[in-house]
Structure 1
Amino acid sequence: MKRVGSFLGDWWRLVIPYFRSEEWPIAIALLIGAIALTFAGVGLEVLFNDWNRRFYDSIQNKNETVFWREIIFFSWLAALYIMVFVARAIVSPYLRLRWRRWLTSHYLAHWLDDRGYYRIELTRAVDNVDQRIAEDLNQLGQYTMTLLLGLLGAVATLISFLFILWELSGPLSLASIGIDITVPGYMAWVCLIYAVVGSYLANLVGRRLIPLNFMRQRFEANFRFSLVRVRENAEGIALYHGEKREADSLNARFIDVFNNGFRVLMTQAQLAFYQSGYAQLAIIFPYVVTAPRFFAGVITFGVMTQTASAFGQVQTALSFFIDNYTSLAELRAVMDRLKGLQIATDEKPPTAIEVMPQPGRSGVATEDLTLSLPGGQALLENLDLPLEKGQSVLVRGASGTGKSTLFRALAGIWPFGRGRVRVPEGARVLFLPQKPYIPIGTLRDAVRYPDENSRASDADIAAALQATGLGHLTDRLDEVAHWSNVLSGGEQQRLAAARAIVFKPDWLFMDEATASLDDAAEATVYNALKKQLPGTTMVSIGHRPTLRKWHDRQLELKRAPGEVGTLVEVPA
């Protein structure tokens, strides 16, 4: 019972936000429409059941007039049933589609808000976020609507046909077995016991599907992600001749998919064996029970078939959880994965580094800045670093000392630490990482990124590309491409420098932003930045000696493994 309460509580927290959102009027209208159509379908089944009795009685009585009248009545019922069926095929899927759109927008905003996506990747709090957003959100709406409408239909069917079954079956005397008791509506009780016992046994067989379906989603996503990595790193794999290693890795990933899939298959086979046997027995069972009364002349053939039909409807309604156990197990797995994503995006570090815009301020400064690794190891403690406007600064140090972490802290994206970074209010600030991010799209958009409101003309963009050594690309501004795969590492860094020229920041922070360039190309880039951005203050992080001549001030980050580092001034 506790697990049922947990399931319903998690389901409610995942589902209810949409029906309280700004889309609630149309969402609730569609939901009411879907429920009404479900109940209409049940009402038609009741009419078909009553028609069943009249039709077969007309055959037994050889009453041709009644026979043809019932055929015409059936035609009207069938036409109405078709219209309801088509309407259900439109209303419910349309609700699911709108619901998925809202869920996707909501989860994407939540994932991207406050850089939750970045924290998740740093901490590896959950796996395969893309799969959870792309597939699990779709399945949440799909399983919810299917199971909810199915459950409501089952309840309505149960109430309607249980009453019919009670009326049709009549009393059963147990005097023949020595018990002086008469059971009213005995078929209703028999059907109820049959379904309850069946549901209990189905749960024993099928409950293993819940963890298996959870792992299936994980293994499938891991395999798909590995395939994407091979595609995105095709050149590197080809240069290393790493095809066999990648094939071994991919096959190992797929072994997880196969082994888990086999366990799911065997569990589903056991459940299918039980479900099919249970369903087949339910077909003949009501005829066996009603046969003595029919052959004794107590009931007509029409009543016998109507009783069997009502028994089937009640048994199907009571067997809802048996028939939908696999879907319930998959819904539980989907909910667990979405719940995990919500927890991961909601989770914030106990401390934070604040980036605080300050009116009237000209420079950038850190105050009481402490940087830590995700595991808690401190890299720097209580750092007060003033960076004056107009004074270019180089921060150097050995690899692994924490230079890039300091760069991320200045950008306000490093979540592990505390302290403040004060920046001039309204200042345009741009950060260039070692590996630039280049969106898929036109080259023009790639250079303008991230400034959506950029007014840079094509001439400005071409001039920036020319200045950074990418003049051969100036006639490709309209070309749409995956530029990260088209351009070399050095060309990508040149493009990032051109982006800075177009963006015209007040402060430009660069983390090993020319590491893929040779000395001459690096000099071209820095010379272009100095010439094209005379009012920009540059702060570079790197270890190459060639960077020193481009900066007025030099700092060195020193840190031994496992210790707290220090940032010291280096004489020019």
Structure 2
Amino acid sequence: MSTTPTSVTVPGPAIPARALKIQSRLRMAATWALIKPYWKSEDRKAGLGLLTLVVALNLGIVYINVLLNEWNRVFYNALEQRDYASFKVLLLRFSWIAAFFIVAAISRQYYTMMLQMRWRTWMTGQFMGHWMGHQAYYRIEQTHTTDNPDQRISDDLRQFTDGALSLSLGLLNSVVTLLSFVGILWTVSGPISLALGGNEIVIPGYMVWFAAGYAVIGSLIAHLVGRPLIGLNFQQEQYEADFRFTLVRLRENSEPVALYRGEPTEQAGLRARFDRIRANWNQLMRYTRRLTFVSSGYAQFAIIFPILVAAPRYFAGKMTLGGLMQTSSAFGQVQGALSWFVDSYATLVGWKAAANRLIDFQEAIRVAERQDEAHTGVRDIEVEHTGEPQAGIRVDGLGLALPVRAQRGASVGQRPLVAPFSLSIAPGERWLVNGPSGCGKSVLFRALAGIWPYGSGTVTMPADARTLFLPQRSYLPIGTLADALAYPDAGTAHAAEALQAVLLQARLPQLVDQLDVFDNWSLRLSPGEQQRLAFARALLQKPRYLFLDEATSALDEETEGIMYRLMVEALPDAAIISIAHRSTVAAFHGRRLRYVPDDGAGAQDGQGGDAAVSYRVVCEA
């Protein structure tokens, strides 16, 4: 067998220039809508308390910088005058000023990190709640309206909260620094006279104007050079998440890949995804190089610029050495405060990219929530609960459809799949659902579960409808075997004796003594063991309506018969509805729901218009 890596085309080409420009938009109103809710939440008192403390520490550090600026003037004048007594006193003064600065800086960092985590914790809870609520996580995956929600909840939320605090506190620090030092710089720089057209023009506090002009020009250049980095950072996060997801998927499917000898194809696919990371990174490098050139040149020239501007007055004897150093220090503080935008631009573009990804994710969640809450349009299927405890499941005029998507993945319509039909399932009845592959049998189960938004009709559930759906491959969470068996309950919600008993009934004696073992059970157990574990779960939960979607496909006919007989005997009052292809399963069911091709099915229009349905349902006793 050849081991030469094959060429793989990764779906989802590089984002075009127009889309990149859209992702580079600032979207300030939407960004503010992300920031505001926490500061009005139930945690706002603790958050505002920490924020007040951090702001106070920032103000204290600015005050210490003012003291250091004044200390510079006195210290260098003492050096110029060779005043040794003052020199010793000033060194002592510097020691306690520096000590206060260190304590304030450490405290500010500590409480800023504490506030970052509180804010991130609250936002993570909100996003996870909305993502899991209304089953938005499922609907988003159906419509592919956003990518990698895991990465947006973990990385983007962290970057957003950390960046919002660091940038806002940096801006506050710059404003306070500017207000504190602009008066000092205005006073110590004095006026400058310029001859223009035979007239003498006097500019008071000229160093302030030089600092402002220098910062404005630098900010404009930085924005023009660095703005594309917002969209490029947006793309980089997406590509990194895609690559990481593919690695995790390979790990979770290591056995089938090994059986297929699919290493060359998987390696080629991973390489192709990484090539997208590298190509985008090359663009990031180019734009970052330009931005670094601007910011580094700006910062380096700012060191000598105030000396050059103030040197004429110093050499003219109008300024002492201490005054020159104080002027240089004050200019640096003012220019630095005015240069917040330039200095923070690299951080700002990364933060804005994370904010834009969260805005898109939040909008996708809201769309999913509106689809779930509205009973018209894309979600016409209603799931109602009747107050009659003994009533069965009633289906009225249920027509099923499939979503039709555009090339970019957005849902643009529905293609009818199954003609409307009615059905009644009473407690204790056994229904077998069969038909050709792809006819919509599993879609029916999803509609009965209330998670399929495409179609029309009404599904009425009784008030005491404890339902359990066992798909072909049941979900097994990573954790203890007890947690995997009892899901969605916690393993501790059931006595160990009960868990052991259902494992024995499901013919899994080898797992009885492993209830407390922590593992990824979907990888450790064979498909047959996983299906028997699912039957043990049904015995544990005792549902009134049990839906089996090819839940015995990995079992031999003998074991399959044992599992079905076990369900019938252990759950005599439960309705059992099965999707299965084997004729042996039919012996355990008294009724049949059969999918047959619709004779009037015509050509599909591909846009969910008036296309004919593909199948109709026949109920047989």
TM band (smaller chain) = over 0.9
Please say if 1:356 is aligned against 2:384.
yes
Structure 2 vs 1, CA of residues 4 and 384 (structure 1 numbering), >3 Å: closer, same or farther? closer
Match of 1:211 in 2: 231
Aligned positions of 1:154-165 closer than 5 A:
154-165=174-185
Q: Which moved more, 1:303-312 or 1:372-381?
A: 372-381
Structure 2 vs 1, CA of residues 179 and 370 (structure 1 numbering), >3 Å: closer, same or farther? farther
Match of 2:13 in 1: none
Please say if 1:328 is aligned against 2:378.
no
Match of 2:215 in 1: 195
Per the TM alignment, residue 5 of structure 1 is displaced from its structure 2 partner at its CA by 10
Per the TM alignment, residue 451 of structure 1 is displaced from its structure 2 partner at its CA by 3.2
| Alignment check: 8 A CA contact 1:120 1:126 kept | yes
Match of 1:441 in 2: 479
Q: Which moved more, 1:79-88 or 1:63-72?
A: 63-72
* Cα distance in 1 for residues equivalent to 2:500 and 2:99: 67
Match of 1:289 in 2: 309
Match of 2:607 in 1: none
After superposition, the C-alpha distances for 1:360-388 in whole angstroms (9 at most, x for unaligned) are 24211112323221221112343221112
Please say if 1:403 is aligned against 2:441.
yes
| Alignment check: 8 A CA contact 1:451 1:503 kept | no
| Alignment check: 8 A CA contact 1:191 1:314 kept | yes
Which sections of structure 1, spanning at least 5 residues, go unmatched?
A: none
| Alignment check: 8 A CA contact 2:397 2:421 kept | yes
Per the TM alignment, residue 71 of structure 1 is displaced from its structure 2 partner at its CA by 1.3
Match of 2:620 in 1: 570
Aligned positions of 1:118-197 closer than 5 A:
118-175=138-195, 178-197=198-217
* Cα distance in 2 for residues equivalent to 1:73 and 1:473: 72
Per the TM alignment, residue 17 of structure 1 is displaced from its structure 2 partner at its CA by 1.0
| Alignment check: 8 A CA contact 1:170 1:184 kept | yes
Match of 1:251 in 2: 271
Match of 1:369 in 2: 398
Aligned positions of 1:302-321 closer than 5 A:
302-321=322-341
- Structure 2 letter corresponding to 1:423: M
* Cα distance in 1 for residues equivalent to 2:228 and 2:515: 56
Structure 2 vs 1, CA of residues 528 and 211 (structure 1 numbering), >3 Å: closer, same or farther? same
* Cα distance in 1 for residues equivalent to 2:436 and 2:510: 36
Match of 1:97 in 2: 117
CA RMSD across the alignment:
1.8
Aligned positions of 1:423-438 closer than 5 A:
423-438=461-476
* Cα distance in 2 for residues equivalent to 1:403 and 1:483: 28
* Cα distance in 1 for residues equivalent to 2:249 and 2:490: 29
After superposition, the C-alpha distances for 1:387-415 in whole angstroms (9 at most, x for unaligned) are 12221111111100000000001011112
Q: Which moved more, 1:120-129 or 1:459-468?
A: 459-468
Give the SS at the match of 2:403: coil
After TM superposition, the runs of 4+ consecutive aligned structure 1 residues lying more than 6 A away are 2-5
- Structure 2 letter corresponding to 1:419: G
* Cα distance in 1 for residues equivalent to 2:214 and 2:397: 71
Match of 2:6 in 1: none
- Structure 1 letter corresponding to 2:591: R
* Cα distance in 2 for residues equivalent to 1:110 and 1:368: 31
* Cα distance in 2 for residues equivalent to 1:352 and 1:327: 45
Per the TM alignment, residue 491 of structure 1 is displaced from its structure 2 partner at its CA by 1.2
The alignment's TM-score, normalised by the length of structure 2, stands at 0.89
Q: Would you say how many aligned residue pairs link Structure 1 and Structure 2?
A: 570
* Cα distance in 1 for residues equivalent to 2:365 and 2:196: 67
Match of 1:488 in 2: 526
Per the TM alignment, residue 6 of structure 1 is displaced from its structure 2 partner at its CA by 5.2
* Cα distance in 2 for residues equivalent to 1:235 and 1:453: 28
Structure 2 vs 1, CA of residues 7 and 427 (structure 1 numbering), >3 Å: closer, same or farther? closer
Match of 1:44 in 2: 64
After superposition, the C-alpha distances for 1:169-227 in whole angstroms (9 at most, x for unaligned) are 11111127733211111111111111101111111111111111000000100110011
| Alignment check: 8 A CA contact 1:390 1:536 kept | yes
Structure 2 vs 1, CA of residues 4 and 527 (structure 1 numbering), >3 Å: closer, same or farther? closer
Structure 2 vs 1, CA of residues 4 and 511 (structure 1 numbering), >3 Å: closer, same or farther? closer
Structure 2 vs 1, CA of residues 15 and 175 (structure 1 numbering), >3 Å: closer, same or farther? same
- Structure 2 letter corresponding to 1:355: V
Match of 1:520 in 2: 558
Please say if 1:272 is aligned against 2:322.
no
Give the SS at the match of 1:373: strand
